Amino acid sequence: MLCDVRLRQSSGLDVCSAILTASPGTRVVFLTVYDDEQYLYQALRAGASGYLLKRVGGHELVRHLVNVRAGEIVIDATLAGRVAASAAHLHSGEFWPGARLGLTQRESEVLALLVAGLSNKAIAVRLVVSDDTVKTHLRGVYRKLEVGDRGAAVATALREGLFH
């Protein structure tokens, strides 16, 4: 089954869990625009067999679905690379700014650019992502830092010594 992370009336993550509870043999693959490590982790914890981004081509999607049917777990290559790099840094004891506060590496990058005074659009251009992706990362930053806006996020980052 293909599912998105966010649905109109509920969370795709909750739908995934419910489907796998009702039908354990089903394989769920997320097909989404959310290029976010935390959503990937949550999808895998919910039992998903894959996490692909909507930029995937049709033939590639079919190939991934065939691999899932054969029992593999498939993850968007770019996202998997970032996760692997993060795991390598964590394993070696290296951390990125904000890791101790629960921020993903990408959320920390977005927060650093926010601290530098960039707008959402400028952050999107710098990171080569969409404005919506930046907004998603900022929502994650706000939630994890327990703040409600840009100013409070910047103040928290500076107070915690994340960036100089």
Predicted local confidence at residue 89, as pLDDT:
61
More confident residue, 86 or 159: 159
* 149 — pLDDT class (breaks 50, 70, 90): very high
Q: What homologous superfamily does CATH list for 2-80?
A: Response regulator (3.40.50.2300)
Residue 144: enclosing H or E segment and its boundaries? helix 131-145
24/15 Cα distance (integer angstroms): 13
Ranges in the chain annotated CATH 3.40.50.2300: 2-80
Mean pLDDT of the chain, nearest integer: 88
Would the pTM count as exceeding 0.75?
A: no
Question: Are 74 and 67 in contact, with CB atoms under 8 Å apart?
Answer: yes
Q: Work out the number of other CB atoms within 10 angstroms of the CB of residue 102.
A: 13
127/121 Cα distance (integer angstroms): 10
**Does residue 92 have a pLDDT over 70?**
no
More confident residue, 94 or 11: 11
Q: Give percent helix, percent strand, percent coil of the chain, each to the nearest 5.
A: 55, 10, 35
Q: Could you give the percent of the chain with pLDDT greater than 70?
A: 93
Angle at CA of residue 150, ends 155 and 101, nearest 5°: 60
Order of strands, sheet of 50-53, starting from the edge strand that comes earlier in the sequence: 2-3, 29-32, 50-53, 74-75
More confident residue, 86 or 134: 134
Ranges in the chain annotated CATH 1.10.10.10: 95-159
**Does residue 71 have a pLDDT over 90?**
yes
Architecture of domain 95-159: Orthogonal Bundle (1.10)
